[in-house]
Structure 1
C-alpha cells in the first residue's frame, strides 16, 4: 500500500467543520417560497387531508400565517385562492374579480406585512366549473380566448398589490399576452415568474385536493408537457425568455432535476423549482409511518434542487425546513 499514489478526497470530510468549509451548496430561508391556500368564509383553518401540515385558511387567519412566516425569516409567499363552488363558472370569472379571494388576500398581506414578497398564482382552474386552466370550446381548451381571461386576472392581481405574477396555465403565448397586458395597464415593473416548464405530472394529486381544481372531464395533457420530453422543455424556456419572463419555474422539481439544470445553464435566468404536493405528501406519509427520517430527507431533497441549479424553491416544507436549519445552527 505504501507505493500506491491516489487522491485522498476523504481528508475534506473528516470533521463537521471541514465539511462545512468546502460545502458547495447551502439552503437558506431566502431561497424558499411558501404556498398558501386562501378560502372564503370565516374562522377557517382546516388541514388538507392529503397534505398533513398544510391548511386552508380564511382571511381572518391570514395575518397569523404571515406573522409565522416573518418570524421564521421566510421572505416570500405564493397565494392560491379557493372560491365558493357556487361562484365558479365556465369562464373562470372569480379569478379576475376586484374583490376575488386572491385579490383580497394580496391587499391584506401587503397592508399588514409589506416586507413580504407576494406572488400571485395566475390560472383559471380553481375558478372554472370544469376545472380546466382555460375556456372550453367543443370539449377543447381554447388557447387564445383563454389568454384574454388570464391577462385580465394578472392585471387584477397586480392592481391588488402583487409583487410578482406567476402564470401557471401553459397556454401558448401566455407570457407575451400577460406581459403586454401588465405593461398596458401601467404595471411595467411587476415581474413575471412564469411556470415555464410544467409537466402533465402524476405528482399533482394532493394539490388538486387542496385547490378543488380536478378537471371534471379529460386531463391536462393537451397543454401541460409530456413527461418524457426534454428538448421541448428547453424550447419552452427559450420562448418564455423571448416573451418577457423574469423567472422560470420548473414543475415538478424532484423528478425533473435534469430539466432544472439544463434550463439554468441554457438561459442563465433565475430558475424556480416547484417542490410539488405529491413530493410533499409522499415524505409526510413515509415519515408518519416511521419509514424515513423526515428532517434528513427533506433537507437532502431541497438541497438537491439547489445543487441542480434552482435559485428559489416553492415548497410546502418551507416552515419545516427553516426550523431544521435553526436546529442545525444551535
Structure 2
C-alpha cells in the first residue's frame, strides 16, 4: 500500500480510559517524553470514562504526541454527535488527531445492541465525512450542517473482515488492521484494502495502514503468550477463525463463553479468563498466536518485527497491553526505554 520510504514508522500506545482524565494524562505525558508518536484511546461507555473527555484532557496536556480514538463507533453515537466531538478535540490538537471508528463491539454488546453492519458503516461514514467537510446534509427532510467544522480530521476504519477492509480502502483515510503482524496475514488484509481503494479509483498509497498488536517485552515468550489466550479465543469466536488458520492456528471456541464478564477481550478477572480459555487454546497455539499476531519477545526481536512491518508498507503501529482496567505503565516504560531507542538507532537488525 504505502511505500516504506514515506517516512519513519510511527509507534503508538493504546491507553484505556480506565481512570480519571486528569490522572490518565500522566501516562500520555510519559509516553510523549519517551518518544512515542501516538496515544490511542478506546471507547466503551460502561467500561471506561468518556473517550472524548479523555482526548480533550490529553490534547490540553501535551504538545507533540498524536492522539486518536481506537475506536469509537456510529452505533451508540450518532454520526453528527461524533462529528462535533471530533471537531472539538481537533481544534485543541490541530494536526495531531485521528478519528478511529469501528463496528462498536464493546460499546454495543453491554447494552444489548448489535455491531454496525457494513451497509450501516458505509452510510454513517459518508454522513460523518460530509459533516466534517462542512457540507449540508438531509436528515429526513431537515437540512443541517456542522457549524465551524474546523481543522481537517483523518478518519480511519478498524477492520478485520474482507468487507470492512475493502470499505476502509474505498472511503476512509486509513485502515486500522486487526489481522496480525506475520507477512502472510498482513498481506491478506492489505490486499483487501488495496482492492477497495482501486475499486473507488483511488491510489493505493492514499490509505495509511496502522497495525494494532498486543505487545510484551520479555525473555519468556511462553509466559506472555499464555496471558494472550483470551485474545486468541475472542478472535476465533468473532469470525476470525480463517485468519488464525492462515497463520497455522486451529482453535474452536463456542459462540458464548460462560464465566467471563463483560467479554473475553475485556474480562474483569483476567486470570479466570485465561484458565477458561485454556480448554480451547493450548500453550502451543497461544505461543504461535503471540508470534504471528503480536509483538512478543526481546526488545531486539520486536525492533526487527517493527522494521519488517514498515518494509511491508505499514505506516503506524499501536501497541496494547493485556488488561483493560489499568494504564499500560510497564509497557510504556519497556518499549520507551528499550524498543524505541533501538528502532531509532537502527539496532536490532
Change (3 A) 1:308 1:180: same
Q: d(CA) in 2 for partners of 1:254 and 1:32?
A: 14
* Contact kept? 1:247, 1:270, Cα under 8 Å: yes
Partner of 2:67: 118
CA distance change for structure 1 residues 187 and 287 in 2, over 3 Å: closer, same or farther?
farther
2:42 aligns with: 80
Q: 1:237 to 1:38 in 2, by over 3 A?
A: closer
**C-alpha root-mean-square deviation of aligned residues, in Å?**
3.9
User: 5 Å matches for 1:1-330?
Assistant: 31-39=10-18, 57-84=19-46, 101-124=50-73, 134=75, 149-161=78-90, 163-169=97-103, 171-182=121-132, 183=134, 184-185=145-146, 186-187=148-149, 189-195=151-157, 198-199=159-160, 225=161, 229=162, 232=163, 235-240=166-171, 245-254=172-181, 256-259=185-188, 261-262=190-191, 263=193, 267-277=204-214, 280=215, 286-288=221-223, 293-316=297-320, 319=332, 320-322=334-336, 323-326=338-341, 329=345
Does the CA contact (< 8 Å) of 1:121 and 1:167 recur in 2? Answer: yes
Distance 1:31 1:307 in 2: 13
Relative contact order (C-alpha < 8 Å, sep 6+): which is higher?
2
Q: Confirm or deny: 8 A CA contact 2:43 2:50 kept in the other structure.
A: yes
CA offset digits 1:283-313 (Å, max 9, x no partner): 8973536987432432233223212211111
3-state SS of 2:210 partner: strand
Cα distance change, pair 284–82 in 1 and its aligned pair in 2 (3 A): farther
In structure 2, runs of 5+ residues without a counterpart are 104-117, 135-144, 199-203, 226-286, 288-295, 322-330
Residue segments in structure 1 that go unaligned for 5+ positions in a row:
1-23, 40-56, 88-99, 125-132, 136-147, 200-224
Task: Describe the shift of the 1:160–1:293 C-alpha distance in structure 2 as closer, same or farther (beyond 3 A).
Answer: closer
Helix, strand or coil at the partner of 1:158: helix
Query: How far apart, in 2, do the equivalents of 1:288 and 1:33 lie?
Result: 24
Shift of 1:101: 1.8
The verdict on how the C-alpha distance between 1:109 and 1:234 changes in structure 2, with shifts beyond 3 A counting, is: closer
Q: How much has 1:324 moved relative to structure 2?
A: 2.1
Report the TM-score, using the length of structure 2 for normalisation: 0.51
